Amino acid sequence: MTPDATTGTGHDDVGRARRTSTDLLRRVEDTLRTLLAGERDAWAEVHEQAVVPIEALSELIASGGKRIRPAFCVTGYLAAGGDPDDPGIVAAGAALEMLHLSALVHDDVLDDSSRRRGVPTVHTQHAALHDSRGWQGESRRYGEGVAILVGDLALVYSEELMAKAPASVLPEWNRLRSEVMIGQYLDVHAATEFSVDPRSSRLIARIKSGRYTIHRPLVVGANAAGRGDLAPAFEEYGEAVGEAFQLRDDLLDAFGDSADTGKPTGLDFTQHKMTLLLGWAMQRDEHIHRLITQPGHTPDELRRRLVDTGVPADVEQHIADLVERGCKAIADAPVDQVWREELVDMAVRVAYRNA
């Protein structure tokens, strides 16, 4: 072991911690695939058509994804000193990812998004199938109906998984889920009026990203290890890093490459999402509202105008400040130094990702 002079943490410690975390995340992945494979086999015996909604979820898992929520859950658990051999934490991580699959499938209907993780979205796939077969009824209603049921099924499987985690996670799990549904509603509703309302935009970003993606998964992990005392530090870290995560999301939607993100760019514009980025830009340049809500503008025109406001550069600075704030929040948390370092690394990774 080579102790680091300033922190007392050895490279071996960091390496060992990372391996434990990676191993748990591999088991999360196995758990997701095993559950779906088992369900698929059981339903194949009942009716050949019954496997379709299950396979839709398997395909979504196979097509990639960052597994951010399981990663924070597992890190929260290990940082809290949880036993890596306890299967409960693997179930909790898998439950968070399965819930996220449900949210993605439903979200893609809400936003009428055509691609996810580089492949056609569930509702798009099934509407196209309906079209190509010349089936009875309306293709759109069929495709969206299938996506509603596929998302519902994932929500149900996420519960089955979380029921295998320690009961101490339930209050936080309950808050996380009802909160994300209501946050989604606020988001959809705000888009209908598309007026600058920094209080609402901030609340939606905090609920949908900070809490859902980082803060509550960390607390679920800590609670699974019986360390409720870590909630305040994880909340402060999660809210700051979560806002950075969301701001990066806004920038990737506006300026990113859909080959990297696996989904269309400019969706926030077409869906009139009042993101923090757009809200700030519209406060500086009223013309942007018109560019978004009236037909005829080109995406490049809109992007140029956004850059001219100076907001994207300010957002980059704000992301850097938020990451720093998140790191400060964790600096004095009563967890092993090796996990503080890991959380700093994770903050940087989510804030400066390209997908």
Is there a contact between 230 and 221 (Cβ–Cβ < 8 Å)?
no
Tokens 């704030």 — which residue?
A: 325
Question: What is the phi/psi pair of residue 10, to 5°?
Answer: -90, 155
Q: Least separation, in Å, of the C-beta of 236 and a copy of itself?
A: 19
Q: What DSSP line would sit under 65-98, residue for residue?
A: ---HHHHHHHHHHHHTT--TT-HHHHHHHHHHHH
Which residues inside 299-318 make contact with a copy of itself, applying CB under 8 A? Answer: none
Helix (H) or strand (E) holding 314: helix 311-331
| Nearer to a copy of itself among residue 52 and residue 196 (C-beta) | 52
Pick from 33, 107, 111, 40: which is nearest to 67 by CA? 33
Is there a contact between 217 and 67 (Cβ–Cβ < 8 Å)?
no
Is residue 108 near a copy of itself by the rule CB under 8 A?
Answer: no
Is residue 87 near a copy of itself by the rule CB under 8 A?
Answer: no
Is residue 211 near a copy of itself by the rule CB under 8 A?
Answer: no
* CA 319 from centre of chain: 17
Strand partners, 10: 3
Is there a contact between 222 and 79 (Cβ–Cβ < 8 Å)?
yes
Is residue 348 near a copy of itself by the rule CB under 8 A?
Answer: no
Is residue 39 near a copy of itself by the rule CB under 8 A?
Answer: yes
| Nearer to a copy of itself among residue 12 and residue 159 (C-beta) | 159
Q: Least separation, in Å, of the C-beta of 169 and a copy of itself?
A: 11
Is residue 290 near a copy of itself by the rule CB under 8 A?
Answer: no
| Nearer to a copy of itself among residue 136 and residue 317 (C-beta) | 136
| Helix-strand-coil split of the chain, %, nearest 5 | 75, 0, 20
Question: Which positions ≥6 away from 217 have C-beta within 8 Å?
Answer: 69, 70, 72, 73, 76, 96, 176
Give the interface size with a copy of itself as a residue count (CB under 8 A): 56
Residue 288, CA distances (Å) to 9, 196, 300, 306, 353 in order = 50, 11, 12, 8, 27
Region binding a copy of itself by CB under 8 A among candidate stretches 2-10, 70-78, 171-179, 320-328: 171-179
| Nearer to a copy of itself among residue 109 and residue 252 (C-beta) | 109
HSE, side-chain direction, 13 A CA sphere, residue 342: 29
Q: Least separation, in Å, of the C-beta of 134 and a copy of itself?
A: 10
Is residue 58 near a copy of itself by the rule CB under 8 A?
Answer: no
Residue 33 is which amino acid? R
What ranges make up the beta strands (E) of the chain?
Answer: 115-116, 119-120
Is residue 203 near a copy of itself by the rule CB under 8 A?
Answer: yes
Is residue 53 near a copy of itself by the rule CB under 8 A?
Answer: yes
Region binding a copy of itself by CB under 8 A among candidate stretches 79-87, 143-151, 238-246, 347-355: 143-151
| Nearer to a copy of itself among residue 43 and residue 255 (C-beta) | 43
- Give me the 149-168 binding string for a copy of itself, x by CB under 8 A, dash otherwise: xxxxx-xxx-xx--x-----
Region binding a copy of itself by CB under 8 A among candidate stretches 15-23, 109-117, 259-267, 276-284: 109-117
Which residues inside 255-274 make contact with a copy of itself, applying CB under 8 A? Answer: 271-272
| Residues found near a copy of itself in the complex (CB under 8 A) | 39, 43, 46-47, 49-50, 52-54, 102, 106, 109-110, 112, 130, 133, 135-137, 141-142, 144-146, 148-153, 155-157, 159-160, 163, 170, 174, 177-178, 181-182, 184-186, 188-189, 191-194, 200, 203, 271-272, 293
